[in-house]
Structure 1
Amino acid sequence: MEFAWNTQKNKMSDVKGKEMEQDRKGRISNPDIDDTRTNMNYDLVENNKNLYQRVKARVDEVRSVSRIQKNSVVDFSNIITVPKEQYEKWGLEKSKDYLKEVYNYFCDEFGKENVVSAKVHLDETTPHMHLHFVPVNQENGKLQARALMTPARINKIHTECPKYLQEKGFEVERGKGKTEKSLDIHRFKAEKIKEDINILENKLKALESDLKAFERVESSFDKIDSIKAKKSPLGAKISVKEDDYKLLIDLSKKSLVLSSKVSALQGKVSNLENQLYEKTLKLDERMELHKLRNENVNLKSSIVKQNKYIAILEDKLIDNGLAVRKPKNEIKVQKNKSKTYDLER
């Protein structure tokens, strides 16, 4: 299988949302989550604090030697997945061992003290791990995300982590897809669903091909109509030619085999069609979530730009003596010395 790893950089304001998602807090909109299995989820990092507190605590430890601002990247959230087909082959315990070794690799790569969380989820369709590390440069002890997670470093992990896992006995190779530094979680899961849909469609095509092959065999039953039987004058017996008798026996045997196989294949086709329908619905939901998230980001950006424009306008009014700054960010605008207008930010 290919090494399935996705990484995303986060500011401090992003971490709480990641915590809510991985700890199943608040409203759960993911249709893949089975809440009866959520109690099976576990964290490889033993710590009584929540994710936000862990990240903040580690950042505070290096604050004295680091230049930290509001927009500083303080966390990299990583998703490592065991593909469904591999999970079915490995089983639960080997899949858990695999994720544990990935955790060990990241501890070696970035420092165990910087890997603040490694939450394994077993309540979705396939096991996966949400691993978080604070980008502290081990050479100087400073928070340095840009220097730490370069494209070269990301490519190195894509290459070396599979080699490390191979040494531990896991059949894994470097992913052949495009390397992305940051990928939205909803888009990431949507792409995984697309992969599942492609697999299901290929299986469905194979089964439909098998059904057509059986239909061709069934066409040979038309030969029965050409068999001529004669009634014996010595009793209620029917006589047929020896070749026709052998054909009847052969078709009788084929009929029993075909009947059971066709029934089983039709059941598989029906099951795959249902799975395909469910996956398509989930894909639509994922794509809608991704669309709404992008719209929300664009809206926030627009609001920030508008606020900046209003602030510039207010400053110009004050500079030209047309307004006086009042408490609570209120601006009093004077017009023709007879009327006043209050503007609020």
Structure 2
Amino acid sequence: MSYAILRMQKVKGNMTGIGKHLDRSYDGSDSIPENANIDNTKNNIHWDKNGTAYTQSEWTAYTKENTFTKRVNQEIKERYTQDKKIRKDAVKCIEYIMTSDHQKMVEIFSDQKTAQEWIKDNKVFLESIYGKENIVSIHLHLDEQTPHLHATVTPLTEDGRLSAKDYINGKKVLREQQTMYAEIMEKYGMERGEKGSTAKHTRPRAYRKQQIDRNR
């Protein structure tokens, strides 16, 4: 049985680096990481906040004027309604990685209908927690060894606050998200990892480094 892998990290401060990785672009040009297969980057798919899908070339052109940093800050500017100034160390967005082991993901993406259903179920999962309005962008990376989705969400509340704590406050909430995600992924032959496991959580950046090292 394969495991449903759900990883997240809070994003603060300078967002240029993470934007380059997610968008695979910067200032209208390609920005491809070392562990990616440049020949497959053209197969990546990106979705904007409205759910509109873009090819990689379309997204590269789009992000020249709509950088990751601009997209996140624009969401906050338009929907933050509090008088209190946002702190410099505030969590501006949360990044998720959604995937499974290599064999399982290759199996899913070997059938177009199954792959589309898997992508849809991941979107439903995010919307159930954050609402459609908080999803800034979603990225399907098919140029790395294992197909996976990235998603970024702004932790804006219905009353106009910027509060990551309202969505991911503590280990209990994160465990609940892991369980909920695994339940959605069951139909693809995935299961949840052991609850209370002593295995160390791999942050997204560390996960990406592992993929780079593995492919060297």
Q: For the superposition of Structure 1 and Structure 2, which TM-score range results when normalised by the shorter chain? A: 0.7 to 0.9
SS of 1:113's equivalent in the other structure is: helix
SS of 1:148's equivalent in the other structure is: helix
> Kindly, what percent of the aligned residue pairs are identical?
21
> Which stretches in structure 2 are left out of the alignment for 5+ residues?
54-61
Distance in 1 (CA, whole Å) between partners of 2:71 and 2:190 is 31
Q: How many residues align?
A: 191
Equivalent residue runs for 1:1-345 within 5 Å: 1-13=2-14, 15-25=15-25, 28-30=32-34, 32-45=35-48, 46=52, 48=62, 49-65=66-82, 67=84, 68-90=86-108, 91=110, 93=112, 94-138=114-158, 140-150=159-169, 151-166=171-186, 169-176=187-194, 177=197, 183-185=203-205, 187-191=206-210, 282-283=213-214
Flag the 1:189–1:66 CA change in 2: closer, same or farther, 3 A.
farther
Q: How far is 1:128 from its partner?
A: 0.6
Deviations 1:183-222 (A, max 9, x none): 151x21355x5xxxxxxxxxxxxxxxxxxxxxxxxxxxxx
Deviations 1:65-120 (A, max 9, x none): 26412111111011112321112333252234313311221012111100111110
Distance in 1 (CA, whole Å) between partners of 2:105 and 2:76 is 36
Distance in 2 (CA, whole Å) between partners of 1:182 and 1:148 is 20
Ranked by relative contact order (alpha carbons within 8 Å, sequence separation 6 or more), the top structure is: 2
Larger-gyration structure (1/2): 1
TM-score, scaled to structure 1:
0.50
Deviations 1:33-66 (A, max 9, x none): 1111111111133385332222111111233326
Distance in 2 (CA, whole Å) between partners of 1:155 and 1:66 is 33
Distance in 2 (CA, whole Å) between partners of 1:155 and 1:79 is 15
Structure 1 vs Structure 2 CA RMSD: 2.7
Q: How far is 1:2 from its partner?
A: 0.9
Flag the 1:105–1:179 CA change in 2: closer, same or farther, 3 A.
farther
Q: How far is 1:180 from its partner?
A: 7.0
Distance in 2 (CA, whole Å) between partners of 1:8 and 1:120 is 18
Flag the 1:113–1:181 CA change in 2: closer, same or farther, 3 A.
farther
Flag the 1:130–1:65 CA change in 2: closer, same or farther, 3 A.
same
- Are the aligned partners of 2:10 and 2:91 in contact in 1 as well (CA < 8 Å)? yes
- Are the aligned partners of 1:66 and 1:142 in contact in 2 as well (CA < 8 Å)? no
Flag the 1:182–1:71 CA change in 2: closer, same or farther, 3 A.
farther
Q: How far is 1:170 from its partner?
A: 2.1
Residue type of the partner of 2:3?
A: E
Q: How far is 1:25 from its partner?
A: 3.1
Higher percent of residues as helix: 1
Flag the 1:179–1:134 CA change in 2: closer, same or farther, 3 A.
farther
Residue type of the partner of 1:10?
A: V
Distance in 1 (CA, whole Å) between partners of 2:121 and 2:39 is 27
Flag the 1:8–1:126 CA change in 2: closer, same or farther, 3 A.
same
Distance in 2 (CA, whole Å) between partners of 1:163 and 1:184 is 22
